[in-house]
Homo-oligomer: A and B are copies of this chain.
């Protein structure tokens, strides 16, 4: 029986396929959704659904639609809090996306 040795796998960022890049790009291709993401800079770390409703000049169903695009692209992570919803920015996915864009330059 051969001995097994530990193997260090060096994967800082999982490779994104083009469908995933497409999905994230599409999620970013709307000024309302860009504004949502930028609002995270003004808050500490999370953003409440109600805050997004105040931020955008849109009806509640439209805001819900835009948040869903961002969540479906994994850019936002939703967390239920009673009857409220809060969202966290998924920096891991954002970093993976940025890494893909950087790799275009080589």
Contact = CB atoms under 8 A, between A and B. Distances in A.
Contacts of A105: 89, 91, 94-95
Given A98-B98, A101-B97, A106 B41 contact: yes
A101 B98 CA distance: 7
B37 A19 contact: no
Chain copies in complex: 2
A38 B21 CA distance: 12
B41 A31 contact: no
A42 to B, nearest CB: 11
Interface of A: 18-19, 21-23, 25-26, 28-31, 34-35, 37-38, 40-41, 89, 91, 94-95, 97-98, 101-106
